[in-house]
Structure 1
Amino acid sequence: MSTVPPLEPLVRFQGVQKSYDGDHLVVRDLNLDIYPGEFLSLLGPSGSGKTTCLMMLAGFESPTQGDIFLEGRRLNDVPPHHRNLGMVFQNYALFPHMTIERNLDYPLQVRKMPAAQRKQRIGDALAMVQMESFAKRYPAQLSGGQQQRIALARALVFEPKIVLMDEPLGALDKQLREHMQLELKALHRKLGVTFVYVTHDQSEALTMSNRVAVFNQGVIQQVCSADHLYEFPCNRFVAGFVGDSNQFPGIVSAADDRWCEVQITDGPRLRGLNVQGLRAGSDCVVAVRPERILAVSGKPSNQFQAHAVDEVYFGDHVRLRCRLSDHESFFVKMPLAAEARQHTPGVPIPLWIDPEHIRVFQP
């Protein structure tokens, strides 16, 4: 019986560190493989090291330590224009004195491509982003969304191995940003080019990516598929940064390799997944998504009561803000139904959480 060989990485970061002053590491011991044709998002708060990682891959920054490989070739000393990587910036970085056509022609001229081939490539790239009729215009004559499309076309026009994007949709309004997310995802699926995408917007990363690498303080906390990242965060930071998460402090009262019982501070006793192998007596944090807390009664375990404080209307759902005695408030996400809006403030509500959806972490 034959087996399929594992896919070789297109890019490999191996023991990469980066410091700007020799004392403080912006990126610490980065080990990351990027595979051909994937859409990988680098997600994290400001200062987490994600953009520095992208800039080192692009060649605009050099690692202080470690190596970066592209198709097995060490990139550390290769200048940016010899790496065959496309780049899309948040501010578009289009040449204002050049027409759209000439903006796209520039990277082809740098590569000394024949004129006839350049013309064909420009036409193809503009067609990809549905901007064929704008070739003779200047960037100032385009909207923000149109300029972003042209910046993407310029990154694709020379058929790079990888397209790098640094928060490319950050300057767009919410509705246009969401539309462009879908366009980018469809374009990636159509072209099969490897996309590496930097963002601090977790919903953007979850919507678009095959895999997501979560950064914090220069270290990758977790890298996996978007759905796995949301459902199975590996630590408290990932649980809190990716999606909404209620977090309750407590003490582990009993534990084994898979499960543990936790006494919530000023609250109920809950059973959940022992993600980090905590032992009885350990301080901990219980994390649970708002949509996993159900307003039902009669369950044999993980049943408790809370008091409604108020509700927040989100259009497609309602979030009920609740309290456990004097503990800080938490949210219960409910669908838009009549029964979801019948909770009087101060009146106890029966709540239940399936143990499978509770994650217990180190504090």
Structure 2
Amino acid sequence: MTHSSASQDVLVSFRGVKKTYDGENLVVKSLDLDIYKGEFLTLLGPSGSGKTTCLMMLAGFEFPTGGEIRLGDQLLNRVPPHKRNIGMVFQNYALFPHLTVAQNVGYPLQVRGMSAAERKTRIMEALAMVHMEKFGDRYPAQLSGGQQQRIALARALVFKPQLVLMDEPLGALDKQLREHMQIELKALHSQLGMTFVYVTHDQNEALTMSDRVAVFDQGIIQQIDPVDALYETPDNLFVAGFIGDSNRLAGKLTQQDADTCALALPDGQTVHGRLIGTFAAGQPATASIRPERMRLVAADSAVTPGLQRLNCTVSSLIYFGDHVRLQCALPGQPQCFVKVPLGTPGLDRMTVDTPVTLEFLPEHLRIYA
């Protein structure tokens, strides 16, 4: 699902939202954000980046220090959580231990004064959504972590909220179960057409599930984009380094040509790439390229027109079943690595300090000025 059209329905908008707990340090700094109806938006970032605070302000557990948050045309700033028509799923499930599964799921309906007969129907529908219809009479303590998480999800969905918020809901599950639940949540989102806002610090989780991802750092959204754009065209070095793996090269800007420029490396080599930022000759800059965008070539082979080359030496080889992760050294640079498929000619003869040549397209090298 892409959100290119201007006619996209905005469900939630943050305008100039700030949050401070001590009156001095802003945890969230002047945040502008639109959340579209029906999308799966993930707020991604390291601990303390402001993503959870942003979610808590939307849920009503925190109030903004400045700015406005709107749901549709309703100003939310001072509306208490239970009056927001928003479902919430926490990492620790927050189920009532003394209530059965069915009573836990039905709780939001009871609070809203729904009749017992209608409650029963809704509870069964919600349990069916998460494949837990046979567990209504059990208590939370009789369920596994993954089952408890499903019940917490059913409880958030049961009153058909406009918006479902999730704060690292899969964080406590083991890797295999977490991956399974990611697929299920994504399918559930498509099936229900509700708006999901999801907080995580796990980049793979964000890439697997979301329509769009907002990358937070130091209380600011560094970039918000569909998953593919975020990965292929990071706006800055923080995003490039936080999402996926990237190799970095530091040097000085030498020449500019339209939207490309040249970067002179300390060892005398020069590489060309796409310029992000403003050009100034002689200015230090850092380039970034994905490991899968570089390939190993024979040093004596003819250079393909339009491709760039980088000469370095092998510093380590790590076997990964279907490929070898080749770590390469360049004078004055961080380690650079590339994935080399097994069976690549000459791979079996490589050892530490073997000279190697890497080749790549200039448009895949982003030079941040």
Question: TM class by shorter-chain length?
Answer: over 0.9
Cα displacement (A) at 1:257? 4.2
Structure 2 match to 1:213: 214
The aligned amino acid for 2:292 is E
Q: How far apart are the structure 1 equivalents of 2:346 and 2:366?
A: 25
TM-score computed with the length of structure 2 as normaliser:
0.94
- Taking only the aligned residue pairs, the percentage that are identical comes to 60
Structure 2 match to 1:328: 334
Q: What is the aligned counterpart of 1:361 among 353, 365, 368?
A: 368
Structure 2 match to 1:317: 323
Comparing 310-319 and 218-227, the one that deviates more = 310-319
Cα displacement (A) at 1:92? 0.7
Question: Deviations 1:95-132 (Å, cap 9, x if unpaired)?
Answer: 11111111011111000011111101100000000011
Question: Alignment RMSD, CA only?
Answer: 1.5
Contact 1:17 1:63 in 2 (8 A): yes
Question: Deviations 1:179-230 (Å, cap 9, x if unpaired)?
Answer: 1110000000110000000010111101100000000000001001000000
Question: Deviations 1:333-357 (Å, cap 9, x if unpaired)?
Answer: 2334454842322111121111010
Moved over 6 A (4+): none
Cα displacement (A) at 1:77? 1.3
Contact 2:266 2:331 in 1 (8 A): no
Structure 2 match to 1:290: 291
Q: How far apart are the structure 2 equivalents of 1:320 and 1:239?
A: 20
The aligned amino acid for 2:309 is Q
Q: Would you say 1:350 and 2:357 are equivalent positions?
A: yes
Cα displacement (A) at 1:328? 3.0
Cα displacement (A) at 1:318? 2.5
SS in 1 for 2:10: coil
Q: How far apart are the structure 1 equivalents of 2:189 and 2:343?
A: 38
Report matched runs for 1:1-363 at 5 Å. Answer: 6-266=7-267, 268-296=269-297, 297-299=301-303, 300=305, 301-325=307-331, 327-339=333-345, 341-342=347-348, 343-362=350-369
Mark the CA change 1:83 to 1:267 in structure 2 (over 3 Å): closer, same or farther: farther
Question: Deviations 1:304-332 (Å, cap 9, x if unpaired)?
Answer: 21111112233453311111135331111
Mark the CA change 1:107 to 1:61 in structure 2 (over 3 Å): closer, same or farther: same
Mark the CA change 1:329 to 1:123 in structure 2 (over 3 Å): closer, same or farther: same
Contact 1:318 1:340 in 2 (8 A): no
Comparing 129-138 and 296-305, the one that deviates more = 296-305
SS in 2 for 1:287: strand
Contact 1:303 1:351 in 2 (8 A): yes
Q: How far apart are the structure 2 equivalents of 1:314 and 1:46?
A: 30
Comparing 302-311 and 192-201, the one that deviates more = 302-311
SS in 2 for 1:190: helix
Cα displacement (A) at 1:256? 3.8
Q: How far apart are the structure 2 equivalents of 1:345 and 1:117?
A: 70
Comparing 276-285 and 183-192, the one that deviates more = 276-285
Consecutive unaligned residues in structure 2, runs of 5 or more: none
Question: Deviations 1:57-76 (Å, cap 9, x if unpaired)?
Answer: 00000000000000021111
SS in 2 for 1:189: helix
Contact 1:39 1:196 in 2 (8 A): yes
Mark the CA change 1:330 to 1:53 in structure 2 (over 3 Å): closer, same or farther: same
The aligned amino acid for 1:332 is V
Q: How far apart are the structure 2 equivalents of 1:65 and 1:139?
A: 39
Q: How far apart are the structure 2 equivalents of 1:333 and 1:352?
A: 12
Q: How far apart are the structure 2 equivalents of 1:158 and 1:96?
A: 21
SS in 1 for 2:172: coil
SS in 1 for 2:190: helix
Mark the CA change 1:217 to 1:5 in structure 2 (over 3 Å): closer, same or farther: closer
Consecutive unaligned residues in structure 1, runs of 5 or more: none
The aligned amino acid for 1:281 is G
